[in-house]
């Protein structure tokens, strides 16, 4: 069984993924290939009209919600520059960062305002004084700074001496609901905020061991951006938050029903080389926000304590309710419930327009999990929002069972309820000695439609029954393309295509044994 220690440097993810995939083609060629597959499988959006009346709870949440608009784009929106892949809108973000540097001017040290990095002194007031009303570049020297929660105004750069050197830690007497670092005004919103080069320690140890670690909605995290336009989080490590390491979010979460999203979402935010562990729910998550870029980042080993024990849906990367236009590039995860989960709760709109280029999952239970909860079964309302996922260069190594979610069987990939999905260039590698209990390694299920899985390899799922299960049928999965897939020393059967062979096209499928 492969084990991955804590000394992983996510800046190496891109070359490592290429090595595992044995990639020789230029990134631009692979991206064009993914686009061509998406063109083959995509169908124009025709969201169903659900006639179910809203519940009283949904009517309440509607007060802070608006309609969810799905962008029916034909292009996946990545641009390749040599071996770097970027969202098409990144130039706008770069221009705003230059403006932020100009506005904030020279560094001011937080120690000038009385902060002490001795691990004992409450420095909350000193940080507040250093921030002022914004327009400042605050330097935090090496040390451990105790605070009771900090709120950043617009036009602020907060810069430390580096991960593990500059540490912000929550005070022992801080309430459980407190977020360590947030923007100052989540209702009216903030803009142009950067956090760079430090460690955020939520100090979960201040709670009793049997206590749940979060209080609900978007509280109890290491860093939350709520209604932030233009944000940057770079080279930041987050430790042991009650809820999330990083939450790019709206003013409040909303559950007003499928087809709605919360008002006050964040937009144009880039997280680069961020890391985290010990989280109560997710490593990084997005809610009701758009144009978010997450790259070269790594999350591992959640505690799952924001959930009931044994039912912890704790993901490394979670693209959640009402999120649109999200890009993930060359990230990694290990020992989480989900490596990357793209999803929504039943009473929210599904994340849509999500694009992945490069992800390495090691020992996650469900390496790649795409679903809209509560919209899967024949008696459920069909999802109005679960559309458009493109993913290329996915690697899942040795998915396993987990104490986080005890009854969840390990899978390399699950696609449930989503339409217009392409997965291109993948390696799904099981452990030949691991007991997969004669189940499947990957599945396309629960009314998923217009799905392409191409140019990849299954290997090592010796004790699974099937590499890929497709639950096709008139009222189930429809219009699936499986192309250029190789099963090597893996499950006894490659594909179970379900009840309707006309809904599944198989091209160039190969099985080999050595």
pLDDT digits (tens, 9 = 90+) for 390-427: 999 999 999 999 999 999 999 999 999 999 999 999 99
Q: What is the pLDDT of residue 5?
A: 65
Q: Which residue has the higher pLDDT, 501 or 121?
A: 121
Mean per-residue pLDDT, 476-484 = 96
Query: If you count DSSP H runs as helices and E runs as strands, how many of each does the chain have, helices first?
Result: 5, 35
Mean per-residue pLDDT, 455-482 = 95
Q: How confident is the model at residue 8 (pLDDT cuts 50, 70, 90)?
A: confident
Find all residues with CB under 8 Å of 407, minimum gap 6, and list them: 310
CB 116 within 8 A of CB 124: no
CA distance 339 to 368: 6
Q: What is the pLDDT of residue 401?
A: 97
Mean per-residue pLDDT, 39-56 = 81
Q: How confident is the model at residue 9 (pLDDT cuts 50, 70, 90)?
A: confident
- Per-residue pLDDT of 355-389, as tens digits, reads 999 999 999 999 999 999 999 988 898 999 999 99
Residue 311 above 70 pLDDT?
yes
CA distance 216 to 280: 12
Q: How confident is the model at residue 58 (pLDDT cuts 50, 70, 90)?
A: confident
Mean per-residue pLDDT, 136-164 = 98
CA distance 436 to 411: 9
CB 246 within 8 A of CB 284: yes
Residue 76 above 90 pLDDT?
no
Mean per-residue pLDDT, 258-275 = 95
- Per-residue pLDDT of 274-296, as tens digits, reads 999 999 999 999 999 999 999 99
Positive or negative, the Cα torsion across 430, 432, 435, 437?
positive
Q: What is the pLDDT of residue 321?
A: 95
CA distance 265 to 252: 9
Helix (H) or strand (E) holding 192: strand 190-201
Q: What is the pLDDT of residue 246?
A: 98
CA distance 287 to 96: 23
Q: How confident is the model at residue 59 (pLDDT cuts 50, 70, 90)?
A: confident
Q: What is the pLDDT of residue 493?
A: 96
Q: How confident is the model at residue 124 (pLDDT cuts 50, 70, 90)?
A: very high
- Per-residue pLDDT of 158-174, as tens digits, reads 999 999 999 999 999 99
Residue among 436, 446, 445 at smallest CA distance from 466: 436
Question: In the beta sheet, which residues pair with residue 274?
Answer: none
* Mean of all residue pLDDT scores within the chain: 94
Residue 72 above 80 pLDDT?
no
Q: What is the pLDDT of residue 13?
A: 95
Q: Which residue has the higher pLDDT, 246 or 7?
A: 246
CA 20 to chain centroid, in Å, comes to: 22
Find the Cα–Cα–Cα–Cα dihedral 466, 468, 473, 476, rounded to 10°.
120
Q: How confident is the model at residue 3 (pLDDT cuts 50, 70, 90)?
A: low
Which range among 41-45, 388-392, 479-483 shows the weakest confidence by mean pLDDT? 41-45
- Per-residue pLDDT of 340-358, as tens digits, reads 999 999 999 999 999 999 9
**b/e map of 78-89 (b: 16 or more CB within 10 Å)?**
bebeeeebbbeb
Phi-psi region of 344 (alpha: psi -120 to 50; beta: other; left: phi over 0): beta
Helix (H) or strand (E) holding 334: strand 324-334
What share of the chain has pLDDT > 90, as a percent?
Answer: 85
Q: How confident is the model at residue 128 (pLDDT cuts 50, 70, 90)?
A: very high
Q: What is the pLDDT of residue 7?
A: 74
Phi, psi of 379 (to 5 degrees): -85, -5
CA distance 382 to 386: 9
Q: What is the pLDDT of residue 4?
A: 67
Q: What is the pLDDT of residue 337?
A: 98
């Amino acid at each position: 069984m492969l084990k991955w220690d804590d000394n992983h440097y996510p800046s190496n993810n891109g070359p490592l993924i290429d090595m595992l995939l044995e990639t020789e083609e230029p990134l631009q060629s692979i991206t064009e290939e993914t686009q061509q597959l998406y063109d083959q499988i995509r169908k124009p959006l025709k969201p169903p009209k659900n006639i179910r009346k809203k519940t009283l709870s949904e009517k309440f949440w509607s007060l802070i919600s608006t309609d969810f608009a799905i962008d029916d784009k034909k292009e996946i929106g990545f641009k390749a520059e040599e071996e770097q892949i970027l969202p098409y809108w990144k130039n706008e973000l770069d221009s705003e960062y230059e403006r932020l540097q100009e506005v904030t001017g020279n560094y001011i040290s937080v120690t000038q305002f009385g902060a002490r990095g001795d691990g004992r002194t409450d420095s909350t007031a000193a940080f507040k004084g250093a921030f002022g009303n914004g327009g400042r570049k605050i330097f935090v020297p090496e040390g451990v700074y105790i605070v009771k929660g900090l709120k950043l105004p617009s036009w602020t750069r907060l810069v430390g001496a580096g991960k593990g050197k500059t540490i912000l830690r929550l005070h022992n007497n801080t309430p459980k609901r407190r977020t360590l670092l947030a923007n100052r005004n989540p209702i009216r919103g903030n803009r142009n905020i950067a956090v760079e080069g430090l460690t955020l320690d939520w100090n979960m140890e201040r709670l009793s061991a049997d206590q749940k670690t979060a209080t609900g909605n978007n509280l109890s995290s290491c860093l939350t951006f709520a209604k932030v336009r233009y944000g940057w989080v770079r080279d930041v490590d987050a430790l042991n938050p009650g809820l999330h390491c990083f939450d790019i979010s709206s003013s409040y979460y909303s559950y007003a029903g499928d087809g709605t999203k919360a008002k006050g979402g964040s937009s144009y935010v880039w997280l680069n080389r961020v890391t985290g562990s010990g989280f109560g729910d997710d490593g990084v998550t997005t809610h009701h926000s758009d144009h978010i870029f997450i790259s070269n980042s790594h999350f591992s080993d959640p505690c799952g304590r924001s959930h009931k024990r044994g039912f912890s849906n704790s993901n490394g990367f979670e693209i959640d309710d009402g999120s649109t236009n999200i890009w993930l590039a060359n990230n990694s995860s290990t020992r989480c419930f989900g490596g990357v989960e793209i999803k929504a709760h039943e009473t929210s709109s599904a994340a849509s327009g999500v694009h992945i280029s490069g992800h390495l999952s090691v020992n996650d239970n469900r390496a790649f999990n795409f679903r809209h909860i509560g919209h899967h079964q024949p008696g459920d309302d069909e999802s109005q929002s679960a559309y458009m996922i493109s993913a290329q260069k996915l690697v899942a190594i040795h998915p396993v069972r987990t104490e986080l979610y005890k009854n969840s069987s390990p899978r390399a990939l699950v696609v449930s309820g989503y339409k217009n999905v392409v997965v291109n260039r993948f390696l799904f590698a099981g452990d030949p000695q691991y007991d997969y209990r004669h189940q499947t390694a990957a599945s396309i299920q629960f009314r998923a439609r217009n799905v392409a899985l191409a140019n990849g390899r299954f290997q090592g799922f010796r004790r699974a029954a099937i590499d890929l299960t497709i639950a096709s049928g008139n009222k189930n999965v429809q219009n699936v393309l499986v192309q250029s897939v190789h099963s090597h020393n893996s499950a006894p059967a490659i594909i179970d295509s379900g009840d309707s062979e006309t809904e599944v096209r198989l091209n160039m499928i190969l099985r080999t044994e050595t």
